[in-house]
Structure formats: structure tokens, C-alpha cells
Amino acid sequence: MSVPAQDKQRLSGEEIAAGLPDDFRHLPGQVLARYRVADFAAAQQLAAAIGQLAEEADHHPDLLLGWGYVEVRLSSHDVGGVTRRDLRLARSVSAAAGAAGAHPEPRALLLVEWGLDTWADAEVLPFWRAVLGYGDAHREGEISDPAGRGGPTLWFQDTEEHETPRQRFHPDVWVPVDEARARIDAAIAAGGTLVSDERAPRFWVLADPQGNRVCICTVEGRDWTTP
């Protein structure tokens, strides 16, 4: 089935927000939902219903299921982002989940990436690609799991050359926009500190009690229409 040109256009954050059903959330390059169901048999049944919808739409999500849950990840891989195809299927999935009595769990959704400070990413990229088993494929400035196994994305951030020890790795924890404040407050209550909110709501920088840093990130305020 050929894809109409308008269905190959990456959508902006505002367009995604306007067309996304309430139980889905936007994270980088994808829209996601996670549903709680009664047991594994119910998860299989919901996954089968979603599979049928995907076949009818000729657009196929990534599904993760286990005892009592189904997670749906939608992205238009041919353009590297979210398109109208994803929003249409998300609405169909939402309706099917509601008919099945599944309960959305947006607070359980997240995406973790790792940033590595380096003054020469070309020098270290082959090593990390080999260690993670990611093969030869990569985008400029980052490597990600080409097999869809859920391996972390590793991206490289420019820094001046320096001696160790110094924190070079930091995790980027992507959460739904409406979950960011609760996640930040919980981290501070657990002994962390807010290092910077200068770039909020794109990201906040937090530190643990020993000073190790992490970024809480959201899709807000970013351009998702270009790679």
C-alpha cells in the first residue's frame, strides 16, 4: 500500500498534542500508551486486537506485553518521527483498549538515554557500538538499538578534554510532560537537588546526594518536524 504524501510528514509537538488520545503520551520520536489488564490472557487478547487494527491500517506498532500489561509504541520509522498514521492508529488502539476494559497507566511510561561527554566522539563511537552490539548503523551524534530490543540510546555531547575522574556519563530520563513535576519533586524528596531549571520545560538538571547528575526531559519546546 502506497503512503500518501501528507502521511509522510513529521508532525510538530503541537500537532501531536492536538491529535493524540488521552491515554497516549509523546516521547522523542514516538507516541506511547501502557495499559493494565487482568492477567496474561487479557494482555494477549488486547495485543491480538491491536494487531488486527495494525494489519487493517498497514501500520505496525511495537508491542510489549507481560502478565497484566500491554505497552504500545507507535512511530513512522520511514520518516523517523510521528505522523498522522501514528495518531490515527493511536485513536483506534485507545478505543479498542477502552472496549476491553484496559486501564491506561501513563505514569509508567519513560524513555532513558545516556549522554557521554567527549571531545572526540569518532574515537569512542566504534567501541560503544561494539560493546552494545548495535552493528554499523547510527545517526550523527548518537547510536541506538537497531533491533528494537529496548537497548538504550547513547548520544555524545561535546566537552573540553579533561582528566578522569569527572562525571562523563549522565542519563536523560524522558517522561510525559504532565509527569515531569511529580518526578522532580520525588527525586528532591529522596535527597536530590535541583541544579538548574534554566532550560525547563525541555529539561531540568538534578543531582543525587553525591553530586552525580541526571536530566529529566520532556518533548515540550522542541522542533519534531525535522530530523
**Residue 144: what pLDDT?**
81
Residue 223 pLDDT > 70: yes
pTM given for the model:
0.85
* CA-to-CA dists, residue 171 to 28, 107, 110, 132, 153, angstroms: 15, 19, 12, 16, 10
What CATH class is the domain 111-217? alpha beta
Confidence at 141, pLDDT banded by 50, 70, 90: confident
Quote the CA–CA distance of 179 and 105 in Å, as a whole number. Answer: 11
Confidence at 131, pLDDT banded by 50, 70, 90: low
pLDDT in tens, 37-89: 999 999 999 999 999 999 999 999 999 999 999 999 999 988 989 999 999 99
Confidence at 123, pLDDT banded by 50, 70, 90: confident
Question: How many residues are there in the chain?
Answer: 227
C-alpha cell at 39: 492477567
Instruction: Assess whether the region 5-108 and the region 111-217 belong to the same CATH fold.
Output: no
Picking from 222, 202, 218, 77, the residue whose alpha carbon sits closest to that of residue 137 is: 77
What is the third-level CATH fold of 5-108?
Gyrase A; domain 2 (3.30.1360)
The alpha carbon torsion through 142, 14, 25, 155 (nearest 10 deg) reads: 10
* CA-to-CA dists, residue 104 to 12, 20, 23, 70, angstroms: 24, 14, 6, 10
Domain map (residue ranges) of the chain: 5-108, 111-217
